[in-house]
Amino acid sequence: MASWSAALARLGHDPFAIHQLASCLGKRYDEALVEALRMELFGAIARLPDGRYERLERLPEADDAPRRGDHRDRPF
């Protein structure tokens, strides 16, 4: 599976749909929705009013990206 940085680099700077993100990440549609939410919360992408996403300037570092089971971002 591709990293966030690699996937966003492949998508470029034009707005993209969730199915495009899924393809770049090598994930199913439903898994890509979860990953998109993580990316949005992390500040790597933003959702547009038409439902597509856009890449933001801040790309996560490899050690910054949240991982499954990583609960450091939870307040409790």
Of the pLDDT bands very low, low, confident and very high (cuts 50, 70, 90), residue 3 is confident
Higher-pLDDT residue of 13 and 67 is 13
Per-position DSSP letters for 34-74, written without gaps between them: HHHHHHHHHTSEEE-TTS-EEE-SPPPPTTTS--TT--TT-
**How far, in Å, are 18, 22, 41 from residue 34 at the CA level?**
10, 10, 11
* pTM, two decimal places: 0.71
The topology under which CATH files domain 4-55 is Arc Repressor Mutant, subunit A (1.10.10)
Give me the pLDDT at residue 5, please: 87
Q: What is the pLDDT of residues 20-72, one digit of tens each?
A: 999 999 999 999 999 999 999 999 999 999 999 999 976 555 445 555 555 55
Alpha carbons 66 and 43: distance in angstroms, whole number: 12
How do the domains of the chain map onto residue ranges? 4-55
Cα–Cα dist 17/11, whole Å:
10
